[in-house]
Amino acid sequence: ILNVEQSPQSLHVQEGDSTNFTCSFPSSNFYALHWYRWETAKSPEALFVMTLNGDEKKKGRISATLNTKEGYSYLYIKGSQPEDSATYLCASTGYNNNDMRFGAGTRLTVKP
């Protein structure tokens, strides 16, 4: 994998559903994996930064895991709420911290 890829591109779920999306990234020269939440008309907001293989992070109903050997990360949202509607971006950072590569994002819509 040469680029950071996210799937699915978009997702529509009902309130209360749990959901997850995937980020794939190049495993060579890897330093850190970032997840951002970008709500319409707002700034992208950092959710998690993970560096170690097997890392798991949690913030409320949202959690993320990291597999650096195979080059993927999952973001999970438990019991989705309408306020979770946003675009979720992942980005991979190499050892040069200016080299942040972004995926195209997963746009989540949670219907009440």
Partner 1 sequence: DVKVTQSSRYLVKRTGEKVFLECVQDMDHENMFWYRQDPGLGLRLIYFSYDVKMKEKGDIPEGYSVSREKKERFSLILESASTNQTSMYLCASSFRGAYEQYFGPGTRLTVT
The 8-class DSSP code of residue 101 comes to E
Shortest Å distance, C-beta 40 to partner 1: 10
Of residues 28 and 98, the one with the C-beta less far from partner 1? 98
Q: Determine how β-strand 10-14 pairs with β-strand 106-111.
A: parallel
Shortest Å distance, C-beta 15 to partner 1: 26
Distance from C-alpha of 61 to C-alpha of 50, rounded to nearest angstrom: 17
Shortest Å distance, C-beta 109 to partner 1: 16
User: Which spans of this chain sit near partner 1 (rule: CB under 8 A)?
Assistant: 3-4, 9, 31-32, 34, 36, 41-46, 49, 89, 91, 93, 97-98, 100-105
The 8-class DSSP code of residue 30 comes to E
Distance from C-alpha of 110 to C-alpha of 19, rounded to nearest angstrom: 10
Of residues 38 and 78, the one with the C-beta less far from partner 1? 38
